Amino acid sequence: MEEAEQLLVFTLDEQRYALHLSAVERVVRVIEITPLPKAPEIVLGVINMHGRIIPVVDTRKRFRLRECEIGLSDQLIIANTDTRPVALIVDSVTGVAEQSKDTIVQAEKIVPGMEYVEGVLKLDDGMVLIHDLDGFLSLKEEKALERAMRRTIRRD
């Protein structure tokens, strides 16, 4: 029997992306984001999620999409990387796709060195880019975020 892969599918500017469902903690409506001084440019700020301070990253900026105001209809995907929970701002979450692993094409087979994309899921109605959550922040950004988070937590 083929092993199935469950992916949470979301949109940014009509393009579909996905995260491994196993990394996703929850999806919530956008809430107030508090700016985080000295954080990497890709970090919009932090949110307080039931007493946990979680950095909010700008998925649009990472994928070089046009910037736009955060709207009340936007959603936050709370997901776990290898090192920390993060919140990703997305236009909408469209659902869960369950596909056999052989329908996923590894990014290296499409364009070697493709950043932030782990693979591509081919569906009847188009493609879904599978987001590499653990590679989302560079090592330099990760260290800067860690320093900014430590400063913020000490002040509280």
Tell me the domain boundaries of the chain.
4-155
Q: Copy the structure tokens of residue 64.
A: 């070089």
Tell me: the pLDDT tens digits for 80-139? 988 889 999 999 999 998 887 777 767 666 666 666 777 788 777 888 888 777 777 767
pLDDT at 154: 58
Give residue-wise pLDDT tens across range 46-82: 999 989 999 999 888 877 888 888 888 899 999 998 8
Give the type of residue at 9: V
- Indicate the fold that domain 4-155 takes in CATH: OB fold (Dihydrolipoamide Acetyltransferase, E2P) (2.40.50)
Neighbours of 20 (CB within 10 A): 16
- In this structure, the strands spanning 15-20 and 126-131 are parallel
Does pLDDT of 11 surpass 60? yes
- In order of 51, 130, 152, the CA distances from 134 in angstroms are 24, 12, 23
> 8: part of which helix (H) or strand (E)?
strand 4-12
For residue 58, give the nearest of 49, 50, 68 by alpha carbon.
68
| CA–CA separation, 119 and 102 (whole Å) | 11
